[in-house]
């Protein structure tokens, strides 16, 4: 089911992980951002758009996590953009002979058989130096940052004053740090990402996170502050006052505590450079 969150911007939420697909209406059709995770859901989305006379003309992946680079044949053969680093990551992954088996192993068992992988990760890099998505629709600014994943980007849909946050600013997930490669600091990278998002927060009235509920108005800065507080507490191994973890966690999402505990362990033990 499509839900309007602002003029010309709708969302479709997955059942399992509450992934938010963003639909931006343009002159000749729509742009899809992070289009769902289960094959049945993506086919349903394609059908809904087709029946409403809004063909898909382009796609965008906010980052290269598996649940953000999926696609379904019913959505059509259109350009699917991402940052150059996101596209490079996916190209490297798909170059391995066993890439499909690797990806399949990481899928939740509930949807593993209903998640099409043939079109997985076929991302076209934005033109070098580009800060806009090249399509016939509202101007969409691309805010690339280093937090959480290689080539991660938030999007600012100017006319609609909507921020598409990728895997940040969620009311369900705590900040998930990126991998340590030996030369980077995932905590500092996350803080940089939050600063870059904060820089554009004054230009938007609505935030759509990769997972969870849409935020409006003062909730946007509140979510930035909450994510920053979590990351600082993680760095200092301090007491956490966060409704996304602990006994107050949303029922059914208790496993987010496991993500938190894993990150805290890595920080305390000094593993992987945190």
Summarize pLDDT for 138-182 with one digit per residue, the tens.
Answer: 999 999 999 999 999 999 999 999 999 999 999 999 999 987 666
Question: Quick one: pLDDT at residue 36?
Answer: 83
Class of the CATH-defined domain 3-273: alpha beta
Q: What is the pTM of this model?
A: 0.95
181-190: pLDDT as tens digits: 667 789 999 9
Q: Cα(25)–Cα(220) distance, rounded to whole angstroms?
A: 23
Is there a contact between 54 and 27 (Cβ–Cβ < 8 Å)? no
pLDDT confidence of residue 182: 65
User: What pLDDT shows up at residue 47?
Assistant: 92
Least confident span in 47-51, 198-202, 215-219: 47-51
Least confident residue range of 11-20, 89-98, 113-122, 262-271: 262-271
Q: What is the pLDDT averaged over residues 233-249?
A: 88
Position 140 scores a pLDDT of 98
Q: What is the pLDDT of residue 238?
A: 76
Would you state the pLDDT for residue 201? Answer: 97
Q: How far is CA 114 from the centre of its chain?
A: 20
Round the average pLDDT of the chain to a whole number and report it. 93
**What's the confidence (pLDDT) of residue 178?**
83
pLDDT in tens, 92-113: 999 999 999 999 999 999 999 9
- pLDDT at residue 273 above 60? no
**Percentage above 90 pLDDT, the chain:** 83
- Domain residue spans of the chain: 3-273
What would the mean pLDDT of 203-210 be, rounded to a whole number? 98
Over 80: is that where the pLDDT of 83 sits? yes
């Amino acid at each position: 089911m499509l839900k309007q969150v602002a003029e010309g911007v709708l969302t479709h939420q997955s059942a399992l992980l509450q992934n938010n697909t963003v639909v931006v209406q343009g002159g000749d059709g729509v742009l899809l951002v992070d289009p769902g995770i289960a094959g049945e859901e993506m086919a349903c989305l394609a059908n809904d758009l087709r029946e409403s006379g809004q063909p898909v003309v382009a796609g965008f992946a906010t980052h290269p996590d598996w649940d953000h680079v999926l696609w379904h044949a019913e959505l059509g053969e259109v350009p699917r953009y991402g940052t150059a680093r996101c596209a490079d990551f996916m190209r490297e992954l798909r170059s391995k002979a066993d890439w499909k088996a690797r990806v399949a192993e990481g899928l939740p068992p509930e949807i593993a058989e209903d998640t099409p992988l043939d079109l997985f990760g076929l991302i076209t890099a934005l033109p070098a130096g580009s800060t806009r998505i090249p399509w016939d629709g509202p101007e969409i600014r691309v805010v690339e940052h280093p937090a959480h994943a290689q080539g991660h980007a938030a999007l600012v849909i100017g006319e609609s004053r909507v921020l598409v946050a990728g895997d940040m600013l969620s009311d369900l997930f705590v900040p998930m740090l990126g991998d340590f490669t030996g030369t980077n600091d995932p905590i500092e990278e996350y803080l940089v990402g939050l600063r870059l998002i904060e820089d554009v927060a004054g230009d938007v009235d609505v935030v759509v996170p990769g997972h969870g509920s849409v935020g409006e108005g003062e909730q946007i800065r509140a979510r930035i502050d909450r994510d920053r507080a979590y990351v600082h507490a993680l760095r200092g191994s301090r007491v956490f006052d966060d409704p996304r973890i602990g006994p107050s966690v949303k029922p059914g999402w208790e496993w987010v505590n496991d993500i938190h505990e894993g990150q805290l362990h890595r920080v305390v033990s000094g593993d992987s450079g945190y």
